[in-house]
Amino acid sequence: MANRIIVALKGEAKGFYRNKSTMFWTIAFPLLLILLFGAIFSASGGKYDLYVQDLSDSQASHQFLEAVNLTGSVNLRYIDKQSDLDQYIKDNSLSAVLVVPANFQMAFVPGAGNNTTQLTMRMDPTQSSSNVVFSIVSAVANQANLALAQGSNVITMGRADITSSGFKYIDFFIPGVIALTTMTTTIFWMVSVMTRYRNNGIFKKLTTTPITRMEWLTSQILWQLFVVFLSLAVIMVVGVLAFDTHMNLTPVAIVTVVLSSALFSSMGMIIARFIKEEEAASAAANAITFPMMFLAGIFFPLSMFPSWLAAVANVLPLTYVGNALRDSMVYGNVASATNNMLVVAGFTVVLFIAGIMFSKWKTE
């Protein structure tokens, strides 16, 4: 028996390795998602462009701008003193420009009379990035004022004063991609294997050999688990190397991945029971997985959803898979992770029983 399972497993492994499209969807596609979304969102958590027109062009203004630069949160881009600022902003669609006035240096000279100078921030307040830049600049200005009041002309800025600590978007996103990949890998594998082997007669041939249905299914499940954990490993390694995410493969996460593989395999089996054609069945699988991917809070946190959409998310199994993985792998919230995992287990039991019942109807 074990021998037959291993033979069937090896057969699937060779086919998988030789089929470039399954390799792409299970390994390369999740990585592309991570790199793409990681790049998009880490840009907003990282540096902003700050355009500066330095009309003073003095030692004081250079020192001040150097302090802004040292925060590590902005890229300074200089605009020539002679430029017509209004025209420049229009031509380059800028959303934040800092203007250092010509009298900037004077404010730093003790006893020069009028010791105030006005930094002007031309900005589009509807752009959240320009608000962030504004707060960075004012923080530096405050430091400068503070330093002046104490009679010292050293302006320093620490990075920690501005950048917020805590979790990054990518920490939220990577467990979601693991959940998503587990779902798509197992559903599509089951749907395509069941419909293809049924339509091209491989099942018919297998029934004439001693392998039983259970042995065959076992081989498929073991193979699926291998593929799922393979892509999980690749995703984690890339997440750590490329984005410096901190995540742990906890027991709860492992159980959740195993359960959700069974859950979505069962879903694939049910689809394949009712839709006989391979193309139609995979279209049906798409129709189920695609909305789930967006509604289950994989790309954006559910807290960003309007309440009615969050209510929809609450009945989708993928939501709980994603939550369980995030809570256990990233946030270290074991209690919440366990609760989510139990909900996943509930879904799995229901769908597994449904899958077996439907397949019994079929054989009768």
Q: CB of residue 11 vs another protein: minimum separation in angstroms?
A: 5
d(CA 130, CA 121): 9
Phi, psi of 120 (to 5 degrees): -115, 130
DSSP H or E run through 76: strand 74-79
Our finding on whether 18 is near another protein (CB under 8 A) is: yes
Nearer to another protein, 110 or 210 (CB): 210
Which residues, including other chains, have CB under 8 Å from residue 131's CB and lie 6 or more apart? 123, 125
Count other Cβ atoms within 10 Å, centred on residue 31: 18
Query: Is residue 15 part of the contact set for another protein (CB under 8 A)?
Result: yes
Residue 51 β-bridge partners: 77, 97
CB of 177 or CB of 194, closer to another protein: 194
State in angstroms the smallest separation of the CB of 196 from another protein: 9
Q: Please identify, using beta-carbon distances, which residue of 79 and 272 lies nearer to another protein.
A: 272
Residue 111 touches another protein, criterion: CB under 8 A: no
Contacts with another protein: how many residues (CB under 8 A)? 21
Instruction: Give the count of alpha carbons within 13 A of 33, CB side only.
Output: 22
Contact between 266 and 352 (Cβ < 8 Å): yes
Cα separations (Å) of 135 from 74, 201, 347?
12, 68, 47
List Cα–Cα distances, 69 to 34, 76, 96, 147, 235, in angstroms: 29, 7, 15, 18, 34
Determine which residue in the list 201, 307, 335, 361 makes contact with another protein, applying CB under 8 A. 201
Segment lying near another protein (by CB under 8 A), choices 140-148, 157-165, 203-211, 297-305? 203-211
CA dist 221 and 217 (Å) reads: 6
Paired tokens of 6: 């291993």
CA dist 86 and 80 (Å) reads 13
Could you say which residues in the range 208-237 bind another protein, by CB under 8 A? 208-211
**Region 161-200 residues binding another protein, contact defined as CB under 8 A:** 200
Least distance (Å) between residue 278 CB and another protein: 13
Residue number with CB closer to another protein (52 or 227): 227
Which residue, 25 or 48, is less far from another protein as judged by CB?
A: 25
Q: Which is nearer to another protein, 166 or 210 (CB)?
A: 210
Q: Tell which positions 44-73 bind another protein, by CB under 8 A.
A: none
Q: Is 166 left (phi over 0), alpha (psi -120 to 50) or beta?
A: left
Distance CA 214, CA 300 (A): 39
Q: Are strands 120-123 and 96-100 parallel, antiparallel or unpaired?
A: antiparallel
Between 111 and 362, whose beta carbon lies closer to another protein? 362
Shortest distance in whole angstroms from residue 192 CB to another protein:
12
Q: By CB under 8 A, is residue 276 in contact with another protein?
A: no
Least Cβ distance, residue 15 to another protein (angstroms): 4
Nearer to another protein, 21 or 150 (CB): 21
Residues that bind another protein (CB under 8 A): 3-4, 6-8, 10-11, 14-15, 18-19, 200-202, 204-206, 208-211
